[in-house]
Amino acid sequence: MIAFLTDWGSNSYYVGVTKVVMREINRMVEIIDICHDIRPYSIRHGAYVLQRAIKDLPADAVFLAVVDPGVGTSRKPIMMVLKDGRRLVGPDNGLFTLAAEEYGIHEIRELENREYHRGNSRSFHGRDIFAPVAAHVDAGVEPAKLGSRLMSFEYLKYKKPAREGNVLSGEVAFYDNFGNLETNVPEALANDFEEGEILEIGKGRKPFKATFGNTYYDVNPGNLLAHFDSSGFLEITVNKGSARELLAIEEGEPITIVKT
The amino acid that residue 208 corresponds to is F
Q: CATH no. for residue 249?
A: 2.40.30.90
pLDDT tens, N- to C-terminus, the chain (260 residues): 999 999 999 889 999 999 999 999 999 999 999 999 999 999 999 999 999 999 999 999 999 999 999 999 999 999 999 999 999 999 999 999 999 999 999 999 999 999 999 988 999 999 999 999 999 999 999 999 999 999 999 999 999 999 999 999 999 999 999 999 999 999 999 989 999 999 999 866 678 999 999 999 999 999 999 999 999 999 999 999 999 999 999 999 999 999 98
CA distances from 105 to 85, 102, 122, 160, 230 (A): 9, 9, 28, 19, 25
260 vs 200: CA distance, rounded Å? 7
CA distances from 6 to 65, 81, 103, 186 (A): 6, 19, 21, 25
Please tell me whether residues 136 and 172 are part of one structural domain.
no
Please tell me whether residues 116 and 166 are part of one structural domain.
no
Q: Which pLDDT score is estimated for 186?
A: 96
Q: CATH no. for residue 50?
A: 3.40.50.10790
35 vs 174: CA distance, rounded Å? 14
Please tell me whether residues 171 and 146 are part of one structural domain.
no
Assign 62 to helix, strand or coil: strand
Please tell me whether residues 11 and 120 are part of one structural domain.
yes
Q: Which of 117, 150, 183 is the last residue of a domain?
A: 150
Assign 178 to helix, strand or coil: coil
Domain coverage including residue 252: 162-259
Please tell me whether residues 11 and 36 are part of one structural domain.
yes
| CA 106 to the chain's CA centroid | 20
Q: Which pLDDT score is estimated for 260?
A: 84
Q: Which pLDDT score is estimated for 205?
A: 64
Q: Which of 150, 183, 203 is the last residue of a domain?
A: 150
Tell me the Cα Rg of the chain: 20
Q: Which pLDDT score is estimated for 127?
A: 98
pTM over 0.85: yes
Please tell me whether residues 127 and 75 are part of one structural domain.
yes
Q: Which pLDDT score is estimated for 203?
A: 67
Q: Which of 150, 184, 209 is the last residue of a domain?
A: 150
Helices and strands in the chain, H and E counts: 6, 15
